[in-house]
Structure 1
Amino acid sequence: MSSYLIRNAQILGGAPQDILVDGGVIQQIGPGPTVEADIDIDATGLILLPGLVDLHTHLREPGKEDAETVLTGTQAAAKGGFTAVHAMANTTPVADNATVVEQVWQLGRDSGYCDVHPVGAVTVGLEGKELAELAAMHGSAAGVRVFSDDGKCVDDAVLMRAALEFAKSVDGVVAQHAQEPRLTEGAQMNEGTVSAELGLGGWPAVAEEAIIARDVLLAGHLGARLHVCHLSTVGSVRIVRWAKSQGWDVTAEVTPHHLLLTDEMVRSGDPVFKVNPPLRTETDVLALREALADGTIDAVATDHAPHPDADKDCAWAVAAMGMVGLETALSVVQQTMVDTGLMNWEGVADRMSHRPARIGRLTGQGRPIAVGEPANLVLFDPAHRSVVDAATFATRSRNTPFRGLELPGRVHATFLRGMPTVLAGELVDQGDLS
């Protein structure tokens, strides 16, 4: 393993310093090296952050490899500055047993581009009828600590209570996709002025908020951990803020697209803007930004949802829901949170690395940038600006809502335990990682 001297990096946006990485850990931080390194990296003008952690990634494998594989998904993650991702359970077959989660975990180990932590389904087949093999998944080699039926809501209160009780027993967490199914039948976009004008079925905010209200009460009653996926409305923010004020162990995430885009985008008719939960109003967007800044929302999670072209290049009514987001997440956060003055780079590190790692109970990720810590790092150039071109993505799918949009920033390098997975903005060949 080569040693690296990262010169003049601004740790969390602070004063330039030199960082020596050797043996997979940070060996020195200071104004100058005391030993020579194998490779020098000029990081002048670059921000050094801890490797990002995504709580919500759809890697599609097994079963939907035409959209994504663990290899291509983790390559996309590395290009986005992520050193760990949580792989959601809605694969084919569903990750509702030890065999499937171990398969995904092993595929992640084989890829080498970032750590992959499988999320176990809450219910068998995501069907919401009976609990999945939670204990077996937790006791497997994958050591599952996060359970979610994401893509579907655990709408049965009795099953949700049982899942929370099990998660509590293993210091795990249930991540809820908050969507009351009876209130969203036939829904195509956010319920509001735009849906009325376009004649599309409306997706009311209360369908999300009602489930969150129920579940924070359950979590508070049980003393269990609840994580709310992809928060999208003003009302949801208020409920989570209130739950936290009660001292309950409730956390929440927001996606980059819900921080930037609104339901006005749907007027274009382009199914790339069709997502679950739907894009909301400008009022919702501003509330989400404020909640992320003040810590009510704990994490930015991509909900990276790749789809083959055929599932998006079609009529709106039949198009799949979801957007890719791993490779643009940090840029969107810079534009919406840092460049607006709502958050500094220390805050970005907290919401995109430290807190997500704590929620997922990861030990080697989301650590401080300090001597003796694992060298999971990302170098980011905030001065770079470029137009999003999906053809350059590492992900197998191209359904980005940001195509053609100029965004700030670029990941210059990503290190996974001292080994570069991305350098000078390009993926490092798998064979060079040993």
Structure 2
Amino acid sequence: MTPNAPARLLALASDGDRRSAPVREYPVAEASPSPALDRIAALAARIFGAPMAGVTLGDPDRARLIASHGLADTAEAFRLPGLPVLGGPRPEAFMVTDALTDPRTADHPLVRGGLGVRFYAAAPIVTAGGQRLGTVSVLDTRPRHPGRDRLDALRDLAALAMEELELRLSAVRTVAAERARRADAERLARTLQRTLLPPTLPSVPGLRSAAAYHTASPDEVGGDFYDLFPLENGRWGLFIGDVCGKGADAAALTSLTRYTLRAAAIYDPDPCAVLANLDAVLKGEQQDGGPRHCTALFGVLEPAPGDAFTVTLAGGGHPPALAVRADGTVEPISTIGGQLIGLLPEPRFVRTTTRLAPGESLLLYTDGLVEARTPDGDMLGQERLAQHLAAAGASSADRLLHTVSGLLGSLGPGVGDDTALLALSVPVPPASSLQENR
């Protein structure tokens, strides 16, 4: 036994509370098996030519076996207080050459019990700050008198065990920090996204409206947007679009685009003129010398005879709106030919007009919807979307939105991009109103 061996081999003594704190910092040691620590135990047994070895962590009243060699059937024995844990104030490697004859260990359960330990050597696992976590220990059922060089080797193995614990703890902390970062990013993204969209849609007399935003990535701000706002003479402006990029740059571009569309509509509400004004503004806003572009639909709603609405739309590279007619058919309101906004020298914008009668609805959406992948791997596309809407018979804005949201949910991981939705519908007036109008 070395001169600095502890006076007794008992469970953690009066200084146990002081030592329990650093032990608790290493839950990773128990979270999952560690092949590296098992190899350390196997190497310790090989160096001593002993049948058993283990790596333990200590707490105030017991030792926990976290890696072992030759101890698969006796792991529970290491939960007994005493032998596997170093006592005493100083963390020194030591040996008990014959535990049965040593008065300090002769009555220990691991010595008197079925395991019959006669030889025990241990080296402390010590942090850089000098705090003891546990041991790398070797056990045999016969007395042993190994040389000092083997005890030195055991001390080196304990240092390797400490390095492994530090690596595993560092990995856990890195994962935790990344999770916290992602959580913060998600909260920031959600907050920023909310500032880019109207908190509520205004109430339009004789019209129902509903909107939704489906995010593909919770920690990344998308560039999809929509709005519905009043114009002069009982008319209403509406738009939906998608700017290039993601993150903070897309958020800045989205804010600029929404503000410009609203301001341009006040100056001249003609839909093509509004998109032309937006095109000029985006071309004046360069980011690192690159273009800033978007797709958009801009429209003007105007009350029409028969409780209907006239909808005039202009498109710039955006998917066409879909009208669900009173008979259940779905009709694309084509703006095909309209080109990207802010990218081309002289872009072309396409204008079209449709009528929404009572019992009819209109869906405006961004391309994340039609570019989503179905379970068979194909894109959903406009045709399949129209078939889905026709089968659902979505005649109201709320029902239309519910139908599309359910479709997006059913596609799951097939939805790879954000999707903005804006739905409008003209309700069927009560029967009494119909009779009064005759």
TM-score range, shorter chain: under 0.3
TM-score normalised over the length of structure 2: 0.24
Greater radius of gyration (CA): 2
Greater relative CO, 1 or 2 (CA 8 Å, sep 6+): 1
